[in-house]
Structure 1
Amino acid sequence: MSLVGIVIAVVFFTAGIIGTIMPVLPGAPLIWLGMLIYGIFVKFNNMSWLFFAGQGLVVALVFLIDYLAGVWGVKRYGGSKAAVWGSVIGGILGILLLGPFGLIFGPFIGAVAGELYRKSDLNKAFQVGIGTLIGFLGGTILKLAVEVLMIIWFFTVIY
């Protein structure tokens, strides 16, 4: 066990959790990277490739949760396919134009725009946009739970 490695890993874990709550940093990849850095410090003792592959799959799951939560929010609140596509495109453009805040507001604006494109009234379009925010919040909670499980798995492997 390496104390320096643990400290560095915990710093990455903390940054990852903060990045999930405040979408400034890529949460799950930072957590995985902290594990990898710790592995380098201990020469991967007691840390198999299967562990890292499993954690990598969990990182992919977190990205899937992120996508599906937004789609669920749009669909749950009566959004059309145009609103779903609008939220996806809005998320991408939001990141490019607004930085981290674009992850929150981009899908909202995109879903509203998609619903308005479909000729829905402003009230319904706004409701669908709210659905993306609810999906985002629900997805964030689910991602946090998965990331905590990643960290618990890490500590069970190294101890």
Structure 2
Amino acid sequence: MDALREVAFPLILLAFMLVGLLGVILPILPGLVMIWAAALVYGLVMGFEGSGIALFALLTVLMLIGSVVDNVLMGGSARRSGASWVAVGVALLGALVGSLLWPPLGGLLLALIGIFAVEYLRLRDWRKALDSTRGLAVGCGWAVVVRALIALLMIGLWLVWWLAR
């Protein structure tokens, strides 16, 4: 029974974390939250003794940062491309609504449509509106890269926690 608890259980959690990593790359699942939740389950079952508390706290901070980094990167990239704050706000609202109505692609689709529409109405220039839309899309790409790196770091930290037991 100890082998099951010491090896099989963590391997099942690792598999769950790898599915979470896939969810970071393909926006189907809340990947960082899945990785964090698996670490929480590990801590609750195996205990938070030793460095477990500090590592779990670090995992929590990384999950929170990773959960907002996409909004910051997308909005910042759109602003650098000339988008107004109103357009960025509409894009973020569109991302939220689209994610709820048509996951996984609805959020990105409504964000892109929203920023293009607001910028076109504001500037009456479809090329400039398209530049802002492209900026949002570039920010989205960078967000995937950063979130994937955060996910890998989270999994690595959890592996340190598991193997240090």
SS of 1:100's partner is: coil
TM-score (norm 2): 0.87
Identity of matched residues, %? 26
Q: 37, 52, 56: which is aligned to 1:52? A: 56
Which residue in the other structure is 1:155 paired with? 159
1:111 aligns with 2:144: no
Give 5+ residue unaligned stretches, structure 2.
none
Tell whether 2:106 aligns with 1:67: no
1:110 counterpart SS class: helix
The 8 Å contact of residues 86 and 113 in structure 1, kept in 2 or not, is answered as no
> Counterpart in 1 of 2:139?
135
Aligned positions of 1:91-110 closer than 5 A:
91-110=95-114
| TM-score calculated relative to the size of structure 1 | 0.90
1:15 maps to a residue whose letter is: V
Gapped runs of 5+ residues in structure 1? none
The CA distance in 2 between the partners of 1:5 and 1:39, in whole Å, is: 12
In the alignment, is the contact (CA less than 8 A) between 1:2 and 1:41 conserved in 2?
Answer: no
Aligned partners of 2:42, 2:100: CA distance in 1, in Å?
A: 32
Distance 1:18 1:57 in 2: 20
- For 1:10, the equivalent position in structure 2 comes to 14
Whole-Å separation in 2 of the counterparts to 1:102 and 1:70: 16
Corresponding residue for 1:37? Answer: 41
